[in-house]
Structure 1
């Protein structure tokens, strides 16, 4: 038992440093993931005809007509990343982008045919980052945190 206590005492300062860095890590994670999805949305609106073609011919979004899937996916990629970046409704934005990310993985079979293994890996990493925001919230460096502190009674 003494060995366990000594190990805990040894590790405790490292845990405090990690806890101190969590807000910066969550901020960096939010900004990185938001930039990826926002750029994807900008690419889609840059050439809407190509976007519609891709959703009609390449992507197979289940249960939705291609034009509606293109609109909803693009809207998600343009509206949710700013919320995620500033941490306003951060968990909602992370959940929405998780759906967008999952649909991208499900709707584009070429990703899974090992034609784009790096793309699959990227989507999985983005998904893991979004799950971290879902689990921990957007962190202390967010509008959600600021609003929450302002609403707490003194």
Structure 2
């Protein structure tokens, strides 16, 4: 049996699977990473003192002041993951978190390119293919394929 004879029928089966499963996973899993990261930065409605210190030392960005970066990152890690899970403003949320991933990769943890590459692949998939049918964007008619 040739590889073509094996792979073509198998690929035909895969072609019939709904891509909504993959698109939902591409939204949910990186959203969880950012959500849990955001939760470590707050105590109730206040940003933790340790968060301020992290942005002054470890997460220091060359252009954005640490106090501004701390607030921006904390808000982004709470808002965009929720939107991704709901599938609302999905492509915009994925783009925002892709940008955040690029900043983290470039300025904070350049050695973590494998992890950041996986997040980026998920975000790029959602940006290019949309949120799928299991999303508010689809149900509200904002993003239908």
Q: 2:37 aligns with which of 40, 54, 75?
A: 40
In structure 1, list runs of 5 or more residues that go unmatched. 1-6
Would you say 1:50 and 2:43 are equivalent positions? no
Question: Is residue 131 of structure 1 aligned with residue 132 of structure 2?
Answer: no
1:100, distance to aligned residue in structure 2 (A): 1.3
Q: How many residues align?
A: 137
What RMSD in Å do the two structures reach over aligned CA positions? 2.4
Q: Which stretches in structure 2 are left out of the alignment for 5+ residues?
A: none
Show the 5 A alignment for 1:1-154: 11=8, 14-15=11-12, 17-46=14-43, 48-108=48-108, 111-112=109-110, 117=111, 119-148=112-141
Structure showing the higher helix proportion among its residues: 1
Length-normalised TM-score, structure 2: 0.83
Consecutive aligned runs of 4 or more in structure 1 exceeding 2 Å deviation: 10-21
Instruction: State the TM-score, normalizing by the size of structure 1.
Output: 0.78
Greater Rg by CA: 1
Q: CA deviation at 1:29?
A: 1.7
